[in-house]
Structures are given as structure tokens and as C-alpha cells.
Amino acid sequence: MTNDTVSTGYIVKDKVLDTKVMGHRGAALLAPENTLASIRAAAEVGATWVEIDVYLIAEGGLVIFHDDTLDRCTNGSGLTREARPVDVANLDAGAWFSDKFAGEKVPTLLDALECIQSLNLGLNLEIKHDGSDVENIVPAVMAMLRDHWQDNDKLMISSFNLAALELCYEIDAQRHLAPLYENIPEDWLEQLKAIKAYSLNCDYSRLTEAQARAVKAAGYKLLCYTANDPKKVEQHWEWGMDAVITDDPTKFAFLLA
């Protein structure tokens, strides 16, 4: 098997993942995470791909947000899934980070898609879930991507929830899917084959050399999160890591040229 062909039979085009550095939640150390300011900050320092989180809230709203509660990253409180779009739209998602970003809003998924495409960035969209809402969030996200994302070669969909990715695959088998793992399970290969995955995305600090080499030998891309010190992933490049997900792309500026 060559490096260009995955075990599923799909051709892995280099242009799908044409970077070694991906901004985490935009650029979470440079601007308030999962905001348009954070996405722009990543682009400004040379990142060509960003990872962001999509969350389903009340009334079917889709927003870019990570936490199950609003408290940490906004001036609101309570469960994220219970927040109404009209209320989320009025939250301040920037002041907690610094006064410079006071007034920054929680973006809708559509806001983010439009911003990212205007900057000509690639997108790794992580589907967040609360266990019971997979059948609601996935069709809504996939419909939004169908209608508002133009270039499939600049899109990756990831999740810690395999059921979410299985449903993504049922809806559109051409999307580039990436299971997320803190600890890679023994049956990872079966899981990736089941959804014709493009990539395996995992915690760099728990990845072993044997696991990394097995993933690459099987023909998949390998992305590692969330590394902010290049020295800590030096060996991972030797193992075959394709890209690093980082809160601060400037730490990996030598790979952005």
C-alpha cells in the first residue's frame, strides 16, 4: 500500500490536508477560543487550517462552542444545550479573555463557515454532543455543510462520538471523517474502516510509537492534539504524524512557511 491510498480504497489527496499545523479552536492562546476573532488570529499568523467545535443549542441552533456550560467562556451561565439562540447572540464571549476582545460574540455555525471560507482556510469541524442529541445535531450540521461549504477537500469532520461519525457517513459518504481519541482503543482499525475514515486524531501525550506506526501503515492520516511546545512532539514527526493541532500556531512558525 502506498502512502496515497487508504485501506478503504479511497485516494488520499495531499491537498485535503495541505498543512502540518492546525489552529485549535481557532487560535485559543491568541484570542478567545471558538470566536471569529480566534479564527482570524490563526489566519493572521499563517495557519491555513483551523479546528472549531459545533454545539447544538435550544430551538435547533448551531453555535461554535466547546463547553457543556456557558460559564467559562461567556458572561452567561447554565447549560449550553438549553440556551436559546436569541440569548446566546447577546452573550459576550471575549471579555473573559481580555478587554481587547470585549463584545466578541459566540458565532453561529454559518457565521464561522462564511468567515473561514473568506479567509481561504481549511476546516476541522468537531461535532460536540451530549449523548442523546446525535440524531439531532448530525443531520443539522451535515445540511449546513451541504448548503454552505464549497470545497470538500478543505473539510474534515471529527468527533469523540463514533455514532456521530457513523451517521455523518450514512448521510454523506464522501466527507473526510476523523475519529477522536484520548486513548486509542484496541479496535481502532475496525472503527475507522466502518466509516471509511480519512484520519485518526488523538492526544499526542498518550500516543505510542507502535500506535502511530500502525495507523500510518494502515494508510490513514494522523493528527495529534493539543501541543503548544514543539519539543514535546519532535518524536511524533518521526513516527509519522501528519499535522499538529495547537492553541498557538506561532509556536510552529517554522512549519508554516
Give the pLDDT confidence of 34-78 residue by residue, as tens digits. Answer: 999 999 999 999 999 999 999 999 999 999 999 999 999 999 999
Q: Find the helix packing angle between 162-171 and 134-148, rounded to 10°.
A: 40
122 phi/psi in degrees, rounded to 5: -85, 155
User: Is this structure's pTM higher than 0.85?
Assistant: yes
* Range of the structural domain that residue 121 is part of: 14-255
Give the position of cell 446525535. Answer: 134
Average pLDDT, the chain: 94
Percentage of the chain with pLDDT > 90?
Answer: 91
Count of structural domains, the chain: 1
pLDDT higher than 80, residue 10? no
Question: Does a structural domain hold residue 4?
Answer: no
Interval 185-203 mean pLDDT: 98
Question: Does a structural domain hold residue 9?
Answer: no
Which residues does 248 contact at the CB level (< 8 Å), separation at least 6?
27, 28, 29, 30, 228
Question: Does a structural domain hold residue 3?
Answer: no
Report CA-CA distances (Å) from 173 to 72, 192, 223, 237: 36, 13, 21, 29
Q: C-alpha grid cell for residue 143?
A: 445540511
Interval 209-224 mean pLDDT: 98
pLDDT tens, position by position, 98-137: 999 999 999 999 999 999 999 999 999 999 976 668 999 9
Q: What is the CATH number of the domain that holds 29?
A: 3.20.20.190
Question: Does a structural domain hold residue 7?
Answer: no
pLDDT tens, position by position, 167-190: 999 999 999 999 999 999 999 999
Q: Where are the beta strands (DSSP E) in the chain?
A: 21-24, 49-56, 62-64, 122-127, 155-159, 177-181, 199-203, 221-225, 243-246
* 8: confidence class by pLDDT, cuts 50, 70, 90: very low
Question: Does a structural domain hold residue 120?
Answer: yes
158, with CB counted inside 10 A (0-12, 13-18, 19+), is buried
